[in-house]
């Protein structure tokens, strides 16, 4: 990051930040997309079991990832204020936080995974796939969380292109491994189905951690921090600062992702085909969710940097850019999707009878792209201001407070069944977008002055 003086300079700098993050996020989520796609080609039962397992762990992971994102605005504001001496300690404490949550994740899984799956009443074959998939995922949870800390450190410095190169290479590796592990290689590797998707993910996460560790240890400007030379002991002062920012972010991300994961669990009552079709549509939504999420991350870095330097008007410009860019991207995706619905549906199955069913869910999923473009970038703006508690309040109230009663009304009372769940989800995202808009307006017009010179 560096100071800019004209609107054009700000636009170009923001695009240079956002473009690599977008490629990175797209590659991260595309790995899950291809896992769902290839598992669906293997069998509908494997897709249903793998999807149930995925939606259980991803909600928890996103909550933890949100906590780990707390170091981004901290580092960004320190860089903007030219106060770098505490950055190495912040990185080390972030690794301690990640380790603690990794232990908690595995402990909760060992205690509650099987009872939860039994409660859902899955078919025995789908239950077995879900257990095997989650077992494989558990072997990679530590490198995954450590990588989140290291990647957030790299991105907070504005070196988002480095993350792009790492994650794209990891994505290519992940796709190859998914194909090999799911379908097998005759005479060499057995076909593992849904379990293979988990194995591929775990190997890819270990690869990411090793590469990011080498970057932090050897590449400038990170090498000057000597992060791995002396880890030291946990320091509550720095951990508390990260948690005070990260926990509200984590709660917000968990509230949003968990409601979508819960929607998949609700689909269990409608049978394996409905679970598979719903999961296919949801994976499509998750894939293109990478765009507003990436723009949101770029907004956190840009806004945090300018707020740290007390250039509040520049911070406001970056917030406007983030939303406009997200809306443009969403409009293009929406236009393409509605004109190629059947082709997109066919990607997720080799069963012709499933194409129309998947397409019916995809119709609802496409609208998420547009609604997310209005609200998600503003979460990044608020994180840049370190105004994070309100994000968690809005997320809980809108996603759970709106979705739960609307699911009951639309699915049970009005008889829309599984489609009522999607109607409720759309409504909750719309409510959240409105609330984030109001909060950003308040922060920018009431709390921070804008009389600085750009």
Q: How many CB atoms lie within 10 A of CB 107?
A: 10
pLDDT at 2: 63
Phi, psi of 452 (to 5 degrees): -75, 165
pLDDT digits (tens, 9 = 90+) for 218-259: 988 888 888 888 778 888 888 988 898 888 888 888 887 777
Residue 379 included in any domain: yes
Residue 453 included in any domain: no
Residue 2 included in any domain: no
Distance CA 192, CA 451 (A): 61
Residue 1 included in any domain: no
Distance CA 404, CA 402 (A): 6
Of 87, 88, 89, 96, nearest to 67 (Cα)?
Answer: 96
Tokens of 59: 């909600």
Structural domain boundaries enclosing 114: 7-447
Q: How many CB atoms lie within 10 A of CB 346?
A: 14
pLDDT at 454: 41
Q: Please list, in sequence order, all residues whose beta carbon lies within 8 angstroms of the beta carbon of residue 215, skipping any fewer than 6 positions away.
A: 150, 154, 162, 166, 222
pLDDT at 450: 59
Residue 428 included in any domain: yes
pLDDT at 103: 95
pLDDT at 452: 47
pLDDT at 358: 82
Residue 132 included in any domain: yes
For residues 129 and 45, the answer to whether their CB atoms sit within 8 Å is yes
Listed as ranges, residues in the chain with pLDDT below 50 are 452-454
Angle (CA) 126-130-132 rounded to 5° is 115
Residue 138 included in any domain: yes
Residue 189 included in any domain: yes
pLDDT at 453: 40
pLDDT at 205: 93
How many domains are contained in the chain?
Answer: 1
Secondary structure (DSSP) of 168-210: HHHHHHHHHHHHHHHH-BTTTB---THHHHHHHHHHHHHHHHH
pLDDT at 230: 78
| In the block, residue with structure tokens 């060499």 | 188
Phi, psi of 189 (to 5 degrees): -125, 125
pLDDT at 1: 57
């Amino acid at each position: 990051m560096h100071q800019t003086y004209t609107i054009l300079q700000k636009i170009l700098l923001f695009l240079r930040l956002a473009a690599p993050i977008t490629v990175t996020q797209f590659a991260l989520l595309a790995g899950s997309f291809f896992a769902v796609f290839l598992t669906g080609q293997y069998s509908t039962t494997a897709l249903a079991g793998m999807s149930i397992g995925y939606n259980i762990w991803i909600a928890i992971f996103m909550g933890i990832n949100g906590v780990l994102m707390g170091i981004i605005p901290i580092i960004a504001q320190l860089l903007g204020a030219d106060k770098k001496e505490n950055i190495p300690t912040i990185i080390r404490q972030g690794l301690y936080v990640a380790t603690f949550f990794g232990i908690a994740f595995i402990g909760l899984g060992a205690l509650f995974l099987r009872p939860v799956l039994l409660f859902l009443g899955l078919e025995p074959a789908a239950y077995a796939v879900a257990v095997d998939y989650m077992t494989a995922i558990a072997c990679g949870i530590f490198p995954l969380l450590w990588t989140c800390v290291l990647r957030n450190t790299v991105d907070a410095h504005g070196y988002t292109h480095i993350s792009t190169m790492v994650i794209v290479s990891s994505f290519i590796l992940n796709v190859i491994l998914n194909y090999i592990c799911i379908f097998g290689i005759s005479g060499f590797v057995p076909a593992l189905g849904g379990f293979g998707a988990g194995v591929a993910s775990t190997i890819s996460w270990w690869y990411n951690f090793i590469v990011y560790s080498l970057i932090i240890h050897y590449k400038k400007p990170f090498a000057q921090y000597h992060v791995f030379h002396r880890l030291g002991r946990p320091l509550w002062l720095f951990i508390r600062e990260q948690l005070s920012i990260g926990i509200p972010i984590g709660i917000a991300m968990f509230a949003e992702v968990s409601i979508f994961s819960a929607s998949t669990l609700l689909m269990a009552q409608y049978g394996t085909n409905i679970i598979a079709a719903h999961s296919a549509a949801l994976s499509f939504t998750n894939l293109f969710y990478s765009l507003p999420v990436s723009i949101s991350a770029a907004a956190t870095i840009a806004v945090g940097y300018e707020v740290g330097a007390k250039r509040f008007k520049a911070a406001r410009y970056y917030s406007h850019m983030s939303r406009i860019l997200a809306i443009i991207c969403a409009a293009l995706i929406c236009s393409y999707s509605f004109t190629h619905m059947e082709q997109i549906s066919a990607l997720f199955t080799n069963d012709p009878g499933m194409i129309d069913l998947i397409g019916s869910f995809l119709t609802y999923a496409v609208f998420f792209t547009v609604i997310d473009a209005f609200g998600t970038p503003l979460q990044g703006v608020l994180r840049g201001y370190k105004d994070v508690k309100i994000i968690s309040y809005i997320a809980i109230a809108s996603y759970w407070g709106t979705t739960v009663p609307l699911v009951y009304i639309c699915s049970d009372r009005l008889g829309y069944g599984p489609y009522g769940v999607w109607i409720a989800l759309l409504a909750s995202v719309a409510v959240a977008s409105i609330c984030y808009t109001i909060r950003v307006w308040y922060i920018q017009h009431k709390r921070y002055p804008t009389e600085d010179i750009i």
